[in-house]
Structure 1
Amino acid sequence: MTPQHRPRKQVHLAAHFPGVNNTTVWTDPESGSQIDFSSFRHLARTAERGRFDFFFLAEGLRLRERKGHIHDLDVVGRPESLTVLAALAAVTDHLGLAATVNTTFNEPYELARRFATLDHLSGGRAAWNVVTSSDAFTGENFRRGGYLDHADRYTRAAEFVQLARALWDSWPPAEPPRTLTHTGPQFDITARSTLPRPPQGHPVVIQAGDSDEGREFAARHADIIFSRHSTPEAGRAFHADVRRRLRKYGRGPDDLKIMPAAGFVLGDTDADAEERAVAIRHQQVGPQTAIALLENVWGRDLSGYDPDGPLPDIDPVPDSDVVRGWAHSGDRFGIASRWRAVAEEKKLSIRELAVELTARQAFVGSPATVAAAIDEAVRTDVADGFILVPHLTPGGLDDFVDRVVPLLQERGVFRTEYQGPTLRHHLGLPAPRPLPDEEVTA
């Protein structure tokens, strides 16, 4: 088939409900509740009106703290995701429903049952974003505490997902349920499912992570990767790398969708949108947030520093709990050194550096410019689509659905109607292959 006759690559879109990060502009007069059901309902219905693939919720198992006090970004609280999605299943008809749930502080039998329940209640629209944690601070909320070594988090996650899939497969259609027996490094169970196989076979599995072990985990287990890349070049390199890894697990290139998080700012003109974007970024990263970001790396109380002044000239403290619940990766001294180099090269203050460091990929411009940029990114394999993160809740997606989606539809790269009942239909994913018989014993 010649390039000019090849079908246009279709764009996949999802909507992230912002409320567990510094994306939301809390001070905007249009910013609504983060916990009222009306907010979740409005954003989900807007996403469904826009024919999006799914609605995505993050997870917060413990409120972040700064010097023993709840951080400003968490004072609204964090509802439990699967409860919210079960309620949304009753007020939506087609939209996929994705929850982030941790494999460290849950058990396979219970979680497989909860996702199977959501898949049955929604008619095949459930998705699970698999995340890991070795965070002892979060673990204090749980019986086992921070028992899990960092090196074991993906070992547990892989065994956890394998068990969940086996449980979903253990009650085939028109057959009695089978008993699942499993003995492994993390789990030793004998279980019988209380539900028949879910409508999708397996709820869609999403993985968020960019490390080498995260990429390998996704290539073997995931249907979607929720990634974060700030440049097209980085996105294409990630896309190609993960696609290469699929082959070793007998998977094809269409078996996994790569969907980075992305912000967006619309304006009547590109210049108008650019001006709005600068203002929004500075609203998202206030002075206290900027200082807290540095404290997380420096491990020191930096409240005496001016957010609009230079970075601290003191060294980090290796082990500290000044800020708790915010993950940081790598060596504190190395991170601080790199941040100083960036700030010095670009003449950035603490707050300006924080604005730059926390920026995610964003589409900024008129509706026509944004539609063209999304189409180009998908066409050139930067990604297969995007999980859009609005800066306002609950109405932040309205403008995109009203002004950008019709242009994508005119280009022939986005659906005008849903073509199937399940989330796997929306994403064009194959039916899951049941695990080998030896994984499930009668």
Structure 2
Amino acid sequence: MHLAAYFPGVNNTTVWTDPRSKSQIEFASFEHLVRTAERGLFDFFFLAEGLRLREHKGRIHDLDVVGRPESLTVLNALAAVTERLGLAATVNATFNEPYELARRLATLDHLSGGRAAWNVVTSSDAFIGENFRRGGYLDPADRYTRAAEFVETARELWDSWTPDGLPRPFAHRGRHFDVAGEFTVPRPPQGHPVVIQAGDSAEGREFAASAADVVFTRHGTLEAGRAFYADVKGRLARYGRAPEELKIMPGVTFVLGDTAAEAQERAVEIRRQQISPQNAILTLEQIWGVDLSSYDPDGPLPDIDPEPESALARGRVRVADRYAVAEQWRTLSREKGLSIRQTVIEVSGRQSFIGTPDAVAAELDELVRSDAADGFVLVPHLTPGGLDEFVDRVVPLLQERGVFRTEYTGTTLRSHLGLPEIVWKG
């Protein structure tokens, strides 16, 4: 089983009101979480990215995280306080260029002794693109073609130095990039930093099968996980790849208790903290596309239809069919007698694994044995101490089951993940 730790902040699972919640930009917070993950023998530490603070009704959403440091800068600093833990940065392939990003990733790989990873994400959002010189607009159909060529170009740059330290000129001529020159950084210790991909569309799955080493997915249940696992792994053969060359790791949350009842009670309280009354109304407005501030969070859902197009929220994932989602939520609310807040909690405030440490360890083990995942990216609900309890109480049980390492046997992230070595293409 492979395990990774996600730094909480760029999502609504983080509980900011808890007295134990600390800063999401101070170095001490990052250091605490990576030291915990390395103590737990995790494969890697994972930073998300936000290139613009999200807005709602023309204002920065004050329940969102305010401040998102640049990922690679943070990871270069964390390389100095860790020895074996992989360091993964989410970096956008739409708003960066291959030469510069390849240099930054190769530098991290050298400074960390071969522990760098790149989570490739894309965007066609002109709102985010306003922060960039060329306006940022990219047709959705071009997102993955650019990303695929971006990864291909970066790998050409990393291969432009020979393994014995000799630089060679490079040249790439393609649809999205036309670059030539000499790369300034010697070949990375891993050959190529590990490539992670998180898209779930048909294009995203195909991109993962063709170019990724790890897939970060939302499919954390047995049935959905097995379907996703079979689909993506089934695409590998057409690219000459074996199933073990791609690791599938869903993002999951957890709540532990000494008894099942205690864990459930804690989970209910965490859900209520995650979905405040204000956040419930805001979430509803993102679906309906209209101002619902006059509605009572403890009252029924609106009986009006959503607006098909709305600019109420900017910087968030677009809802493809607002009416269908609204109908689904209203049906759920009627059947279970749920208020607005209770409905939002039901559909978006859910923990993946709830129970005693032994029960959680058994369930994680079952998903891996059932080909629903190769491992998990754990998303704590607290910054920075939310991972401590899992490392102290669940990891030893996984080790007793013989499904998780008791020590690091390699020094690079590729070795942790059991990925094949990169053969230099001279």
TM-score band (shorter)? over 0.9
Give the Cα separation in 1 of the matches to 2:372 and 2:349.
18
Match of 2:285 among 278, 287, 295: 295
Question: CA offset at residue 230 of structure 1?
Answer: 4.5
Letter in 2 for 1:392: L
Give the Cα separation in 2 of the matches to 1:145 and 1:311.
38
Give the Cα separation in 2 of the matches to 1:215 and 1:279.
35
**1:222-280 Cα distance to aligned partner (Å, 9 max, x none):** 00000002421000111111111001000001000000001011111111001101110
Question: CA offset at residue 434 of structure 1?
Answer: 4.5
CA contact (8 A) 1:35 1:76 kept: no
* Counterpart check, 1:46 vs 2:36: yes
Give the Cα separation in 2 of the matches to 1:269 and 1:295.
37
Question: CA offset at residue 359 of structure 1?
Answer: 4.0
Match of 1:204 among 162, 170, 194: 194
2:93 corresponding residue in structure 1: 103
CA contact (8 A) 1:206 1:226 kept: yes
Question: CA offset at residue 391 of structure 1?
Answer: 0.7
Match of 1:250 among 240, 243, 249: 240
* Counterpart check, 1:370 vs 2:360: yes
2:324 corresponding residue in structure 1: 334
* Counterpart check, 1:388 vs 2:384: no
1:183 corresponding residue in structure 2: 173
1:70 corresponding residue in structure 2: 60
> Percent identity among equivalent residues?
72
Match of 1:55 among 45, 49, 52: 45
**1:11-35 Cα distance to aligned partner (Å, 9 max, x none):** 1110001011111111111111111
TM-score for the superposition, normalised by structure 1: 0.93
2:346 corresponding residue in structure 1: 356
Give the Cα separation in 2 of the matches to 1:360 and 1:352.
11
For the residue of structure 2 that corresponds to 1:406, the secondary structure is helix
For the residue of structure 2 that corresponds to 1:72, the secondary structure is coil
Question: CA offset at residue 331 of structure 1?
Answer: 2.4
Question: CA offset at residue 334 of structure 1?
Answer: 2.9
Give the Cα separation in 2 of the matches to 1:360 and 1:183.
47
CA contact (8 A) 1:35 1:77 kept: yes
* Counterpart check, 1:231 vs 2:203: no
Letter in 2 for 1:357: V
Question: CA offset at residue 46 of structure 1?
Answer: 0.3
For the residue of structure 1 that corresponds to 2:253, the secondary structure is strand
1:8 corresponding residue in structure 2: none
Give the Cα separation in 1 of the matches to 2:324 and 2:261.
37
Letter in 1 for 2:414: R
Give the Cα separation in 2 of the matches to 1:360 and 1:351.
13
Deviates further, 128-137 or 288-297: 288-297
Give the Cα separation in 1 of the matches to 2:56 and 2:262.
36
Give the Cα separation in 2 of the matches to 1:186 and 1:316.
38
For the residue of structure 2 that corresponds to 1:73, the secondary structure is coil
For the residue of structure 1 that corresponds to 2:5, the secondary structure is strand
2:126 corresponding residue in structure 1: 136
Letter in 1 for 2:107: T
* Counterpart check, 1:193 vs 2:195: no
1:25 corresponding residue in structure 2: 15
1:35 corresponding residue in structure 2: 25
Question: CA offset at residue 350 of structure 1?
Answer: 2.0
**Long gaps (5+) in structure 1:** 1-10, 438-442
Deviates further, 91-100 or 229-238: 229-238
TM-score for the superposition, normalised by structure 2: 0.97
CA contact (8 A) 2:255 2:355 kept: yes
Letter in 1 for 2:104: R
* Counterpart check, 1:419 vs 2:409: yes
Question: CA offset at residue 361 of structure 1?
Answer: 5.6
1:397 corresponding residue in structure 2: 387
**1:127-152 Cα distance to aligned partner (Å, 9 max, x none):** 00010101111111001224201111
**Long gaps (5+) in structure 2:** none
For the residue of structure 1 that corresponds to 2:91, the secondary structure is strand
Give the Cα separation in 2 of the matches to 1:209 and 1:375.
25
Give the Cα separation in 2 of the matches to 1:178 and 1:234.
46
Question: CA offset at residue 426 of structure 1?
Answer: 0.5
CA contact (8 A) 1:100 1:131 kept: yes
Question: CA offset at residue 175 of structure 1?
Answer: 5.1
Question: CA offset at residue 360 of structure 1?
Answer: 5.4
1:306 corresponding residue in structure 2: 296
CA contact (8 A) 1:298 1:315 kept: yes
Q: Give the number of equivalent residue pairs.
A: 426
CA contact (8 A) 1:12 1:427 kept: yes
Question: CA offset at residue 183 of structure 1?
Answer: 2.0
Give the Cα separation in 1 of the matches to 2:212 and 2:199.
11
Deviates further, 181-190 or 359-368: 359-368
CA contact (8 A) 2:220 2:251 kept: no
CA contact (8 A) 2:86 2:117 kept: yes
Give the Cα separation in 1 of the matches to 2:240 and 2:169.
27
* Counterpart check, 1:160 vs 2:160: no
Deviates further, 322-331 or 273-282: 322-331
CA contact (8 A) 2:287 2:326 kept: yes
For the residue of structure 1 that corresponds to 2:235, the secondary structure is helix
Question: CA offset at residue 339 of structure 1?
Answer: 2.8
Change (3 A) 1:360 1:244: farther
